[in-house]
């Protein structure tokens, strides 16, 4: 479905087009964040792979030293934030597509938020602990 061949037959109102909003008025924010976090992860992918490669088969002391160093800790935290955000949005889209019972859908979306936030916080906390040497 090319947008290029149907610009003049758009169903969107001129005002809607000017404000760049869809029917939900704020419906494009998750779409944008999904792409934003995707691009962030593509940029971070090589550094993250390098870090993991450095730690292959090494012991905990070495892992602590590497993961706790400031630039690497920042890279890992950024990657975790981008991943958790991206997967939270992605899973919500999947839930909204396949779960049609309203209560079950709300519960699933809530669980999805809890899971994503818990994984992100646990991982970030671990990295901060490695960095501060507590």
Partner 1 sequence: MQVYRWTLTMALSIVHRATGIALYVGTLLLAWWLIAAASGPAAYSHVQAFTGSIIGRLIMFGYTWALMHHMLSGIRHFVWDLGYGFKANEREALTWGALIGGIVLTVLIWIIAYAIGGGR
Q: Which residues bind partner 1 (CB under 8 A)?
A: 1-4, 35, 38-39, 41-42, 45, 49, 53, 56-61, 63-64, 67, 76, 80, 83-84, 87, 90-91, 94, 119, 122-123, 125-127, 129-130
Minimum gap (Å) between residue 26 Cβ and partner 1: 19
Q: Determine the Cα–Cα distance for residues 116 and 85; give it in Å rounded to an integer.
A: 7
Minimum gap (Å) between residue 9 Cβ and partner 1: 16
Please, which residue, 99 or 119, has the CB nearer to partner 1? Answer: 119
Please, which residue, 16 or 123, has the CB nearer to partner 1? Answer: 123
Minimum gap (Å) between residue 74 Cβ and partner 1: 14
Which tokens belong to 101? 């019972």
Sequence-distant (6+) residues with CB within 8 A of 85 are 33, 37, 116, 120
Contact (Cβ atoms closer than 8 angstroms) between residue 124 and residue 76: no
Minimum gap (Å) between residue 89 Cβ and partner 1: 10
Closest residue by Cα to residue 75 from 52, 98, 91: 52
Residue 6 has what DSSP assignment? -
Please, which residue, 14 or 57, has the CB nearer to partner 1? Answer: 57
Please, which residue, 1 or 24, has the CB nearer to partner 1? Answer: 1
Sequence-distant (6+) residues with CB within 8 A of 32 are none
């Amino acid at each position: 479905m090319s947008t290029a061949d149907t610009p003049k037959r758009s169903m969107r109102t001129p005002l809607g087009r000017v404000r760049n909003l869809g029917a939900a008025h704020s419906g494009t924010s998750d779409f944008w964040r999904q792409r934003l976090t995707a691009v962030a992860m593509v940029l971070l992918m090589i550094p993250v792979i390098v870090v993991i490669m450095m730690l292959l088969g090494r012991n905990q002391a070495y892992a602590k030293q590497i993961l706790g160093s400031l630039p690497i800790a920042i890279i890992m935290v950024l990657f975790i934030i981008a991943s958790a955000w991206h997967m939270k949005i992605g899973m919500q889209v999947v839930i909204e597509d396949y779960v049609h019972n309203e209560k079950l859908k709300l519960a699933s979306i809530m669980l999805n938020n809890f899971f994503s936030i818990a994984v992100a916080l646990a991982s970030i906390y671990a990295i901060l602990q490695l960095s501060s040497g507590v």
